[in-house]
Structure 1
Amino acid sequence: MSNPVRRPVASLWIGPRLHYLNQLCLLSHVRQGHPTTLYCTDEVSNVPEGVTVRPATEIMDIDMDIVRQTSESFLSNVFRYKMIQATDAVWIDCDAFCHKPFPDEMQNIYAGHGFRGALNCGVVYIPKDGELIHQLLDYYDNLPEAPAWFNKQQRKRIDKQDRSLPQAVRIYNAERTAFGPQAFTWFAQQTGDYEKALSSDYLYPVPFQLNDVFYDPYGRVEGHFTDNTLSVHLYTNGTKPWWRKNPPLPNSYAARMCEEIGVDPAQALEE
C-alpha cells in the first residue's frame, strides 16, 4: 500500500552537491508521503529520486553577492518565509530528518531549541497570511538601522560597520543570528505566537550540544524521542569534520537511517 499524499514540504540548497545527510533528510520526508521540493541556486548533481527540484528564483530574486558577504543561512532565513507565503509548504532544513509525518491540521510548527529557550526556525510552518509572517517579511524587506531587540553592544557593532556595505551585511556582521532564531523569537513574542510554540521534543529532541550522538554506534538516540517527536534535527552545521568526510560507523543512528531509507553515505561525502 502506498503512503498517503500529505502536506508539501520544501527547502533551499546553495551549491552544486548534497552531502549524504542532506539526501537522507530529504528522502525521509518523501518516505512519509510529503511532496518534497528542493529549491536550488545552482544545478545540483546528486538530488535523490523522489525530490522535486525547482529554481530558487521562483520564490525570490537571489543576490549572491550578499550571500557571499554573509552566509548561506542568511539567504535561507529570508527565503523560508517567502516560500511559505508563496506555496503554503512546511519549511524543512536539509538536515532535519522526518521521524513522523506533520499532521495536516497543525498550523503552528516551530519549537524551542536546545537549552536556551529561544525559538528555532529549522522546521517551521506559520499561517501564510498571519501577522507573524507579515512582520517577518516586513523586517527583511525594510531592514532597520538596527533590529529592535539589539542591546547597546550589538548596536555599537553595527555602528562600526562600513556604511557603504548593504544593510543586511552590516547587521549580519554585528550579530550572525539576527536573521534567524533571534528575529523569529522576537517577532513571535510581539504577535503572541511565542506561546503557540511546540515543546522541543517535537522538532529538536536531541540538543545541539549533544549532536555527536548521531554518529556513536553505542549511543541511544531514540532515548531522546517522545510520542510527540515529528522531526529530528541532525545539526550538520555543528558536525565535526571527520563525520562529514567519512561514512558513519555501523549501528550509529546516521548509519541505521541511511540503511533504512537506502542512502549510500560513501557516494556523497564532503570533499
Structure 2
Amino acid sequence: MPELNRRPVASLWIGTRLHYLNQLCLKSHVAEGHPTTLYCTDVVENVPEGVACRPASEIYDIDMGLVSKTSASFLSNVFRYKMIEKTGAIWIDCDAFCHKPFPEEEGYIFGEHSYRGALNCGVVGLPQGSEVLGMLLDYYDDLPDYPAWWGRRQRKKMDAQDPGLSHAARIYATERTAFGPQAFTHFAKVSGIFAQARSRDVLYPVPFQLNDVFYDPHGRVEGHFTDATLSVHLYTNGTRRWWRKHVPEPGSYAERMCAQVGIDPSLALEQ
C-alpha cells in the first residue's frame, strides 16, 4: 500500500473526456499515495477513481476564447503557477507518469529535458511566495511587448502576426513555447534557481524525439531510467494518431503500466 500524506499534486483538464494515457498518468500518482486533484473547466466523464475533481475557476477563470485561438496547453501555463501559489501543490501534466513518489522535503522540483539542457515545466514544484513564482505570475499578468529573451528574428516574426489577434495570441503564434518552457527557463535563470534543475533522467528520462518507444513491445523504455527517476513524461502532444486511437501493443510500456495501475485502454480511446 502507498504511504499516506504524501505531497498533493494537481493538474488541469480543458474538455469533457480523458484519453487512457491521461487516466493512466493521473491514477499513477494516486497509486503512489499523492492526493491528486484535477481542476476542470467542464464535467469530465471518465476521471479515474481516487482523483478529486474541482472547478478550474477556484484557481483561475479560463478564457475559452483565447483557448480557441491558441491551445488548451497555452492556458495551462498560466494556470499552473496560479495553482501552485494558491495551494502549494506540485503541478503535473496529465501525461506525466509517476514512477516514484516525489520527495517530501524538497521545495523545488523541476528539471531539464531533451538534448539541449533547457527546462521543461511538465512537473513543477515551487515554494509559495518564491521569487521565481512571483516573476512568472507578473509575466503572465502584465505581458511585455516581447518576451525579454527574444531576439530580432522572433520579434520580427511577431510583428508579422495578424493584428486582429490579442497580444497573448500573437506571442503564442510566434513561439508556441513562449509561455511554457521558454518562460520557465528564462525566469529560473534570472531568479538564480536554474542550477537546482534535476538532470533529464529524473523527470523526463525519455527524449521527446523517441516517444514512440512507449508503444513498442520490443522497446527498452526502462533503459532510459536511473535510480533517480521520479516521473516519466509520455508527451501525448507528440503521440502518433494511431496510438491515440488504438490500444497499446501487449508488452509495450504503455500496456504494462495500464495493467499495473488498473486502466483499461479500450474504454478511453481518442474518438
- Please tell me the TM-score bracket, short chain as reference: over 0.9
Q: 1:2 to 1:205 in 2, by over 3 A?
A: closer
Partner secondary structure for residue 97 of structure 2: strand
User: Which residue of the partner structure matches residue 58 of structure 1?
Assistant: 58
Secondary structure of the 2:84 match is helix
2-structure distance, mates of 1:65, 1:132: 28
Determine the C-alpha separation between the residues in 2 that align with 1:79 and 1:143: 15
Q: Distance in 1 between matches of 2:77 and 2:71?
A: 10
Q: Which residue of 1 is the match for residue 221 of structure 2?
A: 221
Residue identity opposite 1:74 in structure 2: F
Partner Cα separation in structure 1 for residue 162 and residue 226 of structure 2: 48
Cα distance in 1 for residues equivalent to 2:105 and 2:199: 17
Distance 2:59 2:2 in 1: 31
What letter matches 1:64 in structure 2? M
Alignment correspondent of 2:192: 192
2:23 is matched with 23
Paired with 1:90 and 1:188, the residues of 2 have a C-alpha distance of: 17
| Residue type of the alignment partner of 2:125 | Y
Q: Which amino acid aligns with 2:130?
A: G
Moved more, 254-263 or 1-10: 1-10
TM-score by length of 1: 0.98
CA shift for structure 1 position 2 = 5.5
Report what 1:159 is aligned to.
159
Q: For residues 52-131 of structure 1, what are the structure 2 equivalents within 5 Å?
A: 52-131=52-131
How far 1:161 moved relative to its partner? 2.5
| Corresponding position: 1:259 with 2:259 | yes
Whole-angstrom CA distance in 2 between matches of 1:25 and 1:166: 33
Alpha-carbon separation, structure 1, partners of 2:162 and 2:221: 46
Deviation at 1:164, TM superposition (A): 3.9
Question: Could you give the per-residue CA deviations for residues 17-66 of structure 1, whole angstroms, max 9, x where no partner exists?
Answer: 00000000000000000000000111110001100000101001111001
CA distance in 1, matches of 2:93, 2:117: 19
- Over 3 Å counting, the alpha-carbon distance change for 1:2 and 1:33 in structure 2 is closer
Determine the C-alpha separation between the residues in 2 that align with 1:149 and 1:54: 35
Q: Secondary structure at the match of 2:123?
A: strand
| 1:236-255 superposed matches below 5 A | 236-255=236-255
How many angstroms apart in 1 are the aligned matches of 2:103 and 2:237? 27
1:177 equivalent to 2:177? Answer yes
Q: Distance in 1 between matches of 2:111 and 2:119?
A: 6
Count of aligned positions: 271
What amino acid does structure 1 have at the position aligned with 2:260? E
Q: For 1:3 and 1:110, how far apart are their aligned partners in 2?
A: 23
Counterpart of 2:27, as a letter, is: L
CA distance in 2, matches of 1:15, 1:53: 13
Q: Give the structure 1 partner of residue 145 of structure 2.
A: 145
TM-score scaled by structure 2?
Answer: 0.98
Distance 1:26 1:79, change over 3 A: same
Q: State the AA in 1 paired with 2:185.
A: T
Q: Deviations over 1:106-136 (max 9, x none)?
A: 1111111111111000001111111100000
Change (3 A) 1:2 1:242: closer
**2:2·2:31 contact (CA, 8 Å) conserved in 1?**
no
1:163: how far off? 3.5
